[in-house]
Chains A and B, each alone.
Chain A
Amino acid sequence: MERPEHPLRPQRLETLTQEAVELGILSLSGSEDGFGIWDHTDSAEAMLFNIGTLRHLGQANPGVAFSWHRSSLAHGLAKLLGFTLNQERFLATTLSITGHYGLGRYSLARWLKGSAIPPEEQDVLGDWLNRQQHASPIVAAEDWQTLLWPQWSDGEVVWCLSDRAGESVSRCEAQHGFDELSSYLVQAHEHGDIRSLDASQTRSIYQRMLKADCIGLMAIAVGALQRGQTLATEYAAIRKQGGKRIDHHPAVQFMLGEVEMTLQHAEAALGMTTRPLDELDLGVLLSMRARLHESLCQAANHVVQVHGGIGYMRDCGAEKIVRDLNMLKLQGGGTREIPLFLAAWVEK
């Protein structure tokens, strides 16, 4: 974060990741039971560790935090499903939990609840997870090799480990944020290595993955805004306008106050998630995500605005926080369709 205008190079990210694996912050799928991110989700303490670690990482670098979060979920899921992953490079495997666009509208919620799904909604769900027909966007470390993702196969959701070399993968231009990572459009040729479980097991795992992803994205985002708050308050304390510090002007005080309010709300929301993952309701988490990301993005914009012109410049660091928070909002299907999901989730 010292020079935000110079993104972390892929080699540096690999080295850092290797160090994090050695420190036990990240666990490979082949390792014994460890204490890395998302290794445990069955107690409040474990969740506190997952959330706290991702928040701290988000404070330092949201792009790095995102890649570690997604690869941690991938390694955990691979272990559960018996997939064999590259044990030399943690970031060689990444995960995409949602379909090619959005959040599956209301069909995903109905399927997760085990409700009867009318044929047209089944078509939406099947199409949403049709990896052969649609290219899905993913954001990952440059040299990823395998992708773990759900697919639709013969009327069921299955888990698939796709090899990059065997799929149609096109690298995109530099994306909006997460300067340390790259974007790709991935379209499957084959079904790849597949694990098919019974429907209730698949639904249960899918829910757990969605919940963990949702919490992870929120935790990283809160960390990113905390960094933004530090930048804004420190700058406002030294910058003068009209002969006095800008944090003595109500125009700036309001923006700093909004940032603080957003963080307080976010803290309270994240605090509610420090319970065993299975006790948390997916609908509640998605509701939080929809509101939280909206307000976090707005607050990050206040951070830039407090800085004025310099906030727009890359060497300041504030504009990167806005871009990274936008990225976090747009991942995992984005937030626009969450109300549709929730309407189906609470449907009688």
Chain B
Amino acid sequence: MSLNMHLDGHLPSTHQLSPHWQYGEFPVLARQFTHYSSRDLWEADTARLPKALAKIRRAARGFAEQHIAPLASAADLAEHLPVGECLPDVQRLLIEAGKAGWLSYFMPAPLGSMPWQAVTQPPIWQCALVVEEFSRACGGLMLLLSAHHLGCMPLLLSGSPGAITRHLAPVYRSCLNGDPHLVAFAITEPGAGSDAEEGHGAEVYRPGVVATPAPGGYLLNGRKCFISGGDLAKSATVFAALQGEGMDSWTCFYVDADSPGYSIARTEMKMGMRASGAAELEFNNVFVPNGRLIGGLRKGWALNRATLNASRIPVAAMGVGLARAATELAVDFARRYKLGGKELIHYQDVQLHLATMVAETRAIRSLIWQEAKHAWKPRQLNASLCKFHATDRAQHVVEMALDLLADHGSLHEQRIEKIFRDVRLTRIFEGTNQINRLSLIEDWQEQLLPLDSHSPIVGV
């Protein structure tokens, strides 16, 4: 930067009245408390992470920029593909992602790809870092790569060494060997989105996918809808009620997609995140052997909720990645687009606008990192809070980016309109943000009750 360069309304950093350079001339002791580095914000944040996570963050960014971002627009604009089809470039991306370990990082070697240096940090934190980087590059491709981890999560959280070694490890191995094996997470049923995510609703809901005992296993019948990645998944963790029982009998079954009777009825045409399919799965007398029952009979409801607790912080990170992308693009636009002979960023109102966007984006990232760093056993309250707040604010940031670009904002080439379509989904899936707010209260009940005047103030 030239010494005399400055934005309108601000002094050059070398000016006598600019304090930053003078901090460097303070006495040694004073410098320890004043002379900060004004390096790139992303670099500064990365440097604050534990070393292993910083390395993962850099690697995720590199992979996203090299392999995901170049495909983002084409994958978004592509015609709606027939069920089971995948763009050749996207198929290659899946292979590369698998080989690079991005489909197997919830377990360390030899089972998975998590670096051993990272095992002392909560995997949710690692996942949140990766998801932010991938979302920044493309919401749809991020979902394609991330929904797989959601599908694998019940296998992991079942705590069963058998489930991990017999089912999860082969999935991870296949991915690492360049034969991507995606796993889908199937809870949502036609006519019941929120009932699968909220206890009060589940209490009266009549399950749509039912498991009937058969010799050596169970027969599954029914439909699941809006299953992210369900069209390309080779297997799925499917939640079904036992014949004649309610949601409290929900049980998790690990089902191969090539099982007889398993079919994909349709994939949805979505507003955004179009690179990832939302599939309707149909089960017609699908036989699942007893060995593929995950976590125990009637343990599915709790396993589902534990999975959502684990996934909601990464979903919040999607919001950060998308808000960050919108902010970076808005800053870029303001730095290059000229009005009245000068770049927009020289105008004070534009500076105010961008400053708010940066603050909003960094505020939700701070919230997520604060929660993720302690998320060994992610609490429902904290995870839900992150999810609804970060995604709501993220959409606001993206709207600010659209507003800044005005008529140019609607153009696909500026990329922000796609980010809007992508971020919109984060407020709906993994429980709508209304359900997540109620989920916070549900989990807080033990502190909120009893409701009498002698109860102490509840801490917030």
Which residues of A are at the interface with B, using a C-beta cutoff of 8 A?
5, 98, 100-103, 105, 107, 120, 123-124, 127-128, 136-137, 139, 172-177, 183, 185, 239-243, 251-252, 255, 297, 301, 304-305, 308-315, 319, 322-323, 326-327, 329-337, 339-340
Contact = CB atoms under 8 A, between A and B. Distances in A.
Contacts of B402: 326, 330
Nearest to A304: B424
Given A5-B269, A173-B413, 15 more contacts: A101-B406, A102-B339, A105-B339, A105-B347, A123-B341, A137-B411, A174-B77, A176-B409, A243-B203, A308-B432, A326-B402, A326-B420, A330-B405, A335-B403, A336-B404
Contacts of B226: 309-310
Contact of A333 (B73, B407, B432): B407
Contacts of B339: 100-102, 105, 124, 127-128
Interface in B77-121: 77
Given A173-B73, A315-B269, A242 B428 contact: no
B72 to A, nearest CB: 12
Given A308-B193, A336-B353, A175 B270 contact: no
Contacts, number: 163
Contact of A98 (B404, B407, B411, B420): B407
Contact of B270 (A103, A172, A313, A331): A313
B234 interface: no
A332 B406 CA distance: 8
A312 B200 contact: no
A334 B424 contact: no
Nearest to A332: B407
Contact of B408 (A120, A137, A313, A323): A137
A117 B57 CA distance: 52
B429 interface: yes
Interface in B400-440: 402-413, 417, 420-421, 424-425, 427-429, 432-435, 437-438
A332 B270 CA distance: 28
B271 interface: yes
A242 B200 contact: yes
- With most chain A CB atoms within 10 A of its CB, the pick from B204, B272, B404, B411 is B411
Given A127-B341, A251-B434, A176 B420 contact: yes
B420 A128 contact: no
A308 B424 CA distance: 11
A97 B270 CA distance: 33
Interface in B2-34: none
24 contacts: A100-B339, A102-B339, A124-B340, A137-B407, A172-B412, A174-B77, A174-B412, A175-B410, A176-B409, A177-B410, A240-B191, A243-B203, A252-B434, A304-B424, A309-B188, A309-B226, A309-B428, A312-B270, A312-B271, A314-B268, A314-B271, A326-B420, A330-B407, A332-B407
B256 interface: no
B337 interface: yes
A340 B349 contact: yes
Nearest to B438: A251
Interface of B: 73, 77, 188, 191-195, 198, 200-201, 203-205, 225-226, 268-272, 278, 337-341, 344, 347, 349, 353, 395, 399, 402-413, 417, 420-421, 424-425, 427-429, 432-435, 437-438
Nearest to B425: A312
Contacts of B191: 239-240
A67 B261 CA distance: 49
A319 B406 contact: no
Nearest to B226: A309
A202 B312 CA distance: 57
A309 B432 CA distance: 8
Contacts of A326: 402, 410, 417, 420
A101 B434 contact: no
Given A102-B339, A123-B341, A309 B429 contact: yes
A101 to B, nearest CB: 5
